[in-house]
Amino acid sequence: MARYSAFSIFRNALSGQKNWQRAWRAAEPNPSYDVIVIGGGGHGLATAFYLAENHGIRNVAVLEKGYVGGGNVGRNTTVIRSNYLLDGNTQFYEFSMKLWENMSRALNFNVMFSQRGQLVTAHSADQLDGFSHRANIMRLNGIDADILDRDAVRRLVPYLDFSDTARFPIHGAIFQGRAGTARHDAVAWGYARAADGHGVDIIQNCEVTGFLRDGNRIVGVETTKGRIGAGKVGLAVAGHTSVLGAKAGLELPIESHVLQAFVTEPLKPLVDHVVAYGADHFYVSQSDKGGLVFGGNLDGYNSYAQRGNLGVVCEVAEAASALMPCISRIRLLRHWGGVMDMTPDASPIICPTPIEGLYLNGGWCYGGFKATPASGWCFAHTIATGKPHPLIAAYGLDRFRTGHTLDEAGAGPSAWLQ
Partner 1 sequence: MLPIECPCCGPRDHDEFRYGGDASVTRPAHDDPDPEAWYRYVFIRANPAGLHREFWQHVIGCRQWLVVERDTRNHAIASVELARKSPHSKSLARKSPA
Partner 2 sequence: MSSNHKRLSMGGRIDREQPVEFTFDGRSLIGYRGDTLASALLANGVTLVGRSFKYHRPRGIFSAGPEEPNALVTLATAGRRQPNLPATTLELQDGLVAESQNRWPSLTFDVQSVNGLLAPFLSAGFYYKTFMGPTRRAWMFYEHFIRKAAGLGRAGTDPDSDRYDISHAFADVAIIGGGPAGLSAARAAAAAGARVALIEQDFLLGGQLLAEPSDSAAAKWLRQAEAELESSETVTLMKRTTAFGSYDGNVIGLVGQRDPANPRPAGEVLQTFTMLRARSIVFATGAIERPMIFSNNDRPGVMLASAARTYLNRFAVLPGKKIVVATGNDSAWRAAFDLAGAGAEVTVADLRAAPSTALAAEAGRLGVVVRAATRIVDLNGGHAVRRATLNEADGQSEATCDLVCVSGGWSPTVHLTSHLGVKPQYRDDIGGFVPGAFPADRFGAGSMMGIFSTADVIEDGHRAGTEAASFCGKSAPVPAPSKLDLGETATAPFREIPSLGRGKAFVDFQMDVTTGDIELAYREGYESVEHLKRYTTLGMGTDQGKTSNFAALASMAALRNATIPETGATTFRPPYTPVAIGALAGRAIGHHFKPIRRTPMHDWHMANGAEMLEVGLWMRPYFYRQSGLDVNEAYVAEMRSVRQAAGLMDISTLGKIDVQGPDAAIFLDRIYANGFAKLPVGRARYGVMLRDDGIVLDDGTTTRLGENRFFMTTSTAKAADVLSRLEFLLDTAWPDLRVAVTSVSDEWAAMSVAGPKSRAILNAAFPALDVSDAALAHMGLLESEWQGRALRILRLSYSGERAYEIYVGATAGEQLWSRLLEAGRPLDLKPYGVEALGALRVEKGHVAGPEIDGRTTLDDLGLGRLAGKRSGFVGDVLRRRPAFQAPDRQRLVGLECIEEGKRLRGGAILFLPGEKPYGHGRGRVTSVTFSPERGHHVGLALLSGDVASEGSEVVAVYPMKAETVRARIVSPVFLDPQGERLHG
CA distance 64 to 362: 16
Among the candidate windows 17-25, 55-63, 113-121, 253-261, which touches partner 1 by CB under 8 A?
253-261
Question: Which listed option, partner 1, partner 2, none, makes contact with residue 303 (CB within 5 to 8 Å by class)?
Answer: partner 1
CA distance 117 to 177: 4
CA distance 179 to 145: 10
Question: Could you say whether residue 280 binds partner 1 (CB under 8 A)?
Answer: no
The size of the interface with partner 1 (CB under 8 A), counted in residues, is: 26
Among the candidate windows 197-205, 214-222, 235-243, 371-379, which touches partner 1 by CB under 8 A?
235-243
Torsion-angle region of residue 278: left (phi > 0), alpha (psi -120 to 50) or beta?
alpha
Closest approach, Cβ 189 to partner 2, in A, equals: 7
With beta carbons less than 8 A apart as the criterion, state whether 77 and 334 touch: no
CA 77, 82, 84, 90 torsion: positive or negative? positive
Site string for partner 1, 351-390 (x = CB under 8 A): ----------------------------------------
Per-residue b/e over 144-181, b at no fewer than 16 CB within 10 Å?
A: bbebbebeebeebbeebbeeeeeebebbbbbbbebbbb
Nearer to partner 2, 185 or 222 (CB): 185
Task: Identify the three-state secondary structure at position 242.
Answer: helix
CA distance 179 to 100: 10
Among the candidate windows 21-29, 99-107, 219-227, 239-247, which touches partner 1 by CB under 8 A?
239-247
Among residues 181, 204, 396, which one has the least CA distance to residue 274?
A: 181
Closest approach, Cβ 263 to partner 2, in A, equals: 9
CA distance 234 to 352: 9
Nearer to partner 1, 199 or 413 (CB): 413
Question: Could you say whether residue 251 binds partner 1 (CB under 8 A)?
Answer: yes
CA-based radius of gyration for the chain: 21
Site string for partner 1, 318-357 (x = CB under 8 A): --------------------------x-------------
With beta carbons less than 8 A apart as the criterion, state whether 237 and 244 touch: yes
Nearer to partner 2, 219 or 279 (CB): 279
Among the candidate windows 167-175, 247-255, 352-360, 370-378, which touches partner 1 by CB under 8 A?
247-255
Question: Which listed option, partner 2, partner 1, none, makes contact with residue 155 (CB within 5 to 8 Å by class)?
Answer: none
Question: Which listed option, partner 1, partner 2, none, makes contact with residue 300 (CB within 5 to 8 Å by class)?
Answer: partner 1
CA distance 10 to 4: 11
Among the candidate windows 4-12, 184-192, 305-313, 372-380, which touches partner 1 by CB under 8 A?
305-313
**Phi (first) and psi of residue 371, to 5 degrees:** -85, -5
Contact residues for partner 1 (CB under 8 A)? Answer: 240, 242-243, 246, 251-256, 300-305, 309-311, 344, 400-401, 413-416
